[in-house]
With several copies, the nearest count.
Chain A
Amino acid sequence: METGMHAWTLIAASLVLMMTTPALALFYGGMSRSKSVLNMMMMSFSAVGIVGIIYVLWGWSMSYGEQDVALLFNNPFETFGLQGVGGASLIAVGFQMTFAIITAALISGAVADRLKFSAWVLFLPLWLTLSYFPLAHMVWGGGFLSDATNGLADLLGSAAPIDYAGGTVVHINAGVAGLVLAIILGKRLGFGKEPIKPHNLPLTMIGAGLLWFGWYGFNVGSIVIDTELDAAGQTAQFLSETSLVWLNTTVCAAAAVVGWMVVEKIRHGKATSLGAASGVVAGLVAITPACGSLSPVGSLALGVVTGALCALAVGLKYKFGYDDALDVVGVHLVGGLVGTVAIGLLATDGGLFYGDGVSLFVTQVAVALFAMLWSAVATLIVALIVKAVIGLRVDEETEIEGVDFAEHGETGYDFGASTGRGRGTLGTTSTKVKEGAGA
Chain B
Amino acid sequence: MKLVTAVIKPHKWEDVREALETFGVAGMTVSEVSGYGRQKGHTEVYRGAEYDIALVPKIRIEIVVEDADASDIVDIVVKTAQTGRIGDGKVWVIPVDSVVRVRTGDKDEAAL
Residues of A near any B CB (own CB < 8 A)? 192, 194-198, 264, 267-268, 270, 272, 274-275, 278, 311, 314-315, 318, 327, 330, 400, 405, 409-411, 416-419, 421, 423, 425-434, 437
Contact call A419/B55, Cβ cutoff below 8 A: yes
A411 nearest in chain B by CB position: B44
B48 nearest in chain A by CB position: A315
Complex Cα distance, B29 from A121, in Å, reads: 39
What 1/0 flags go to B40-57 for Cβ under 8 Å of A?
011111111111111111
Contact call A429/B54, Cβ cutoff below 8 A: yes
Number of A-B contacts (CB under 8 A): 109
Residue numbers in A under 8 Å from B13 (CB-CB): 425-426
A37 to chain B, nearest CB (A): 15
Of B30-38, B74-82, B92-100, B102-110, the one touching chain A: B30-38
Complex Cα distance, B49 from A434, in Å, reads: 6
Q: Which chain B residues (52-99) contact chain A, with CB distance < 8 Å?
A: 52-57, 59
Interface of A is mostly: loop
Contact call A427/B53, Cβ cutoff below 8 A: yes
Partner of B46, one of A272, A330, A405, A417: A272
Partner of A194, one of B14, B47, B56: B14
Other contacts beyond A197-B51, A405-B44, A431-B51: 20, CB < 8 A: A195-B53, A264-B45, A274-B46, A315-B49, A318-B49, A417-B34, A419-B57, A421-B57, A423-B57, A425-B11, A426-B30, A427-B55, A428-B54, A429-B14, A429-B41, A432-B50, A433-B48, A433-B49, A434-B49, A437-B48
A429 to chain B, nearest CB (A): 4
Residue numbers in B under 8 Å from A417 (CB-CB): 10, 32, 34, 57
Residues of B near any A CB (own CB < 8 A)? 10-11, 13-14, 17, 30-34, 41-57, 59
B16 to chain A, nearest CB (A): 12
Contact call A427/B34, Cβ cutoff below 8 A: yes
A sample of 24 inter-chain contacts (CB < 8 A) reads A194-B14, A195-B53, A196-B49, A197-B46, A315-B48, A318-B48, A400-B11, A405-B42, A405-B44, A409-B44, A417-B34, A418-B32, A419-B56, A421-B57, A425-B10, A426-B30, A426-B32, A429-B17, A429-B55, A430-B52, A431-B52, A433-B48, A433-B50, A434-B49
